[in-house]
């Protein structure tokens, strides 16, 4: 499942194919994959004849903004992919949306499991209002003070809170396990009992694992690819995720695997003590 680094990698590889390039056609193969929001929006056809001017990302959401502020928001869900291919290339199964660019490239969204989707907004302001509601700051931009303020007196547990997206946007199962292992924090630690010093270590650990993964093109577990059809290499750097039963790379203790908030969680019972 793509998390922040994988979505960032898709954004980075998609951008050169769409920014400054005119859209000459848009085809929706599966209507229910596209949600049209906002007043006066024309949907995908409204983009024909327009150029995109920028892309940006917040958490796991990817925004593509056109010159007249029409905005597409891509959610990759579990298995979403963005392919940028010559128009003559065979269309893969599960391709739900095709945007033809003046360059001859087609941007194709496909998603076999359809947990993702494409949201169309007539304006960027509407896209921001809807898509960012209830989301915390992007995980690469959070500050210690943000979390201390949000977590003061709170009884919620650390891993479920980080997965909820409401405090920090962009983390999923992989990077939460990695960041908590690095910060030596127990996944079931009550957030209100984490000291300012520990929150500082956590924020540093989140930034470190995300930046390292972005540098390596993200993590490919099954079929994730960026928009240039390349897999990510961070998988071989994982220190906690997927290593249950193996020795902790810091202390040698056997890493424990447990189900927390419905997600398999790996942590070191010696390094990550609950306080």
Q: What is the contact surface with Zn ion in residues (CB under 5 A)? A: 248, 250-251, 253, 268, 270-271
Q: How far is the CB of 254 from Zn ion (least distance, A)?
A: 9
Residue 3 designated active-site: yes
Closer of 148 and 188 to Zn ion (Cβ): 188
CB of 207 to Zn ion, least distance (A): 21
Please list, in sequence order, all residues whose beta carbon lies within 8 angstroms of the beta carbon of residue 262, skipping any fewer than 6 positions away. Answer: none
| Closest separation in Å from C-beta 183 to Zn ion | 12
Residue 59 tokens read as 């958490």
SS3 content of the chain, % helix, strand, coil (to 5): 30, 25, 45
CB nearer Zn ion, residue 128 or residue 250: 250
**Residues facing 254 on adjacent strands:** 247
Cα of first residue to Cα of last residue in the chain, in angstroms, is 31
Closest distance between Zn ion and the C-beta of residue 4, in Å?
A: 25
Q: Which DSSP helix (H) or strand (E) runs through 95?
A: strand 95-101
Is residue 93 classed as helix, strand or coil in its secondary structure?
A: coil
Our CB check for Zn ion shows the closer of 7 and 255 to be 255
Residue nearest to Zn ion (CB): 248
250: three-class secondary structure by DSSP: coil
Please, which residues have CB within 8 angstroms of residue 32's CB and are 6 or more apart in sequence?
Answer: none
With respect to Zn ion, which residue has the nearer C-beta, 124 or 266?
A: 266
Q: Which residues of 184-217 are buried (b: 16+ CB within 10 A; e: fewer)?
A: bbbbbbbbeebeeeebbbbbebbeebbeebbebb
Element of type H or E holding 199: helix 196-215
Minimum CB separation of residue 172 from Zn ion in Å reads 23
Catalytic residue among 6, 8, 11, 60: 60
Write down the catalytic residue from 2, 81, 110, 184.
2
Q: Which is nearer to Zn ion, 223 or 253 (CB)?
A: 253
Residue of 263, 269, 270, 274 marked active site: 263
Full DSSP string of 60-90: TEEEEEETTS-EEEEE-TTT-EEEEEETTSP
Nearer to Zn ion, 72 or 255 (CB): 255
Q: Is 2 a catalytic residue?
A: yes
- Does the active-site annotation cover 225? no
The nearest distance, CB 270 to Zn ion, in angstroms, is 5
Q: Which residues are catalytic?
A: 2-3, 60, 263
């Amino acid at each position: 499942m793509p998390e922040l680094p994988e979505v960032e990698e898709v954004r980075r590889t998609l951008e050169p194919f769409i920014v400054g390039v005119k859209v000459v056609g848009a085809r929706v193969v599966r209507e229910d994959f596209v949600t049209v929001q906002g007043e006066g929006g024309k949907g995908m056809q409204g983009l024909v004849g327009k150029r995109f001017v920028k892309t940006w990302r917040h958490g796991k959401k990817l925004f593509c903004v056109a010159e007249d502020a029409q905005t597409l928001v891509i959610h990759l869900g579990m298995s979403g992919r963005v392919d940028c291919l010559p128009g003559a290339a065979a269309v893969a199964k599960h391709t739900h949306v095709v945007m033809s660019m003046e360059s001859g490239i087609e941007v194709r969204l496909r998603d076999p499991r359809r947990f993702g989707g494409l949201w169309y907004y007539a304006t960027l302001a509407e896209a921001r209002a809807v898509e960012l509601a209830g989301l915390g700051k992007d995980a690469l931009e959070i500050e210690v003070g943000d979390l201390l303020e949000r977590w003061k007196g709170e009884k919620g547990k650390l891993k479920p809170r980080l997965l909820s997206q409401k405090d920090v946007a962009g983390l999923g199962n992989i990077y939460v396990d990695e960041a908590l292992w690095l910060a030596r924090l127990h996944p079931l630690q009550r957030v209100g009992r984490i000291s300012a010093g520990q929150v500082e270590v956590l924020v540093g650990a989140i930034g470190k694992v995300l930046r390292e993964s972005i540098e390596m093109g993200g993590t490919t577990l099954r079929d994730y690819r960026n928009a240039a059809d390349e897999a990510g290499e961070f998988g071989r750097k994982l220190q906690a995720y997927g290593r249950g039963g193996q020795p902790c790379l810091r202390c040698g203790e056997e890493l424990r695997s447990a189900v927390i908030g419905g997600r398999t969680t790996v942590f070191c019972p010696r390094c990550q003590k609950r306080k």
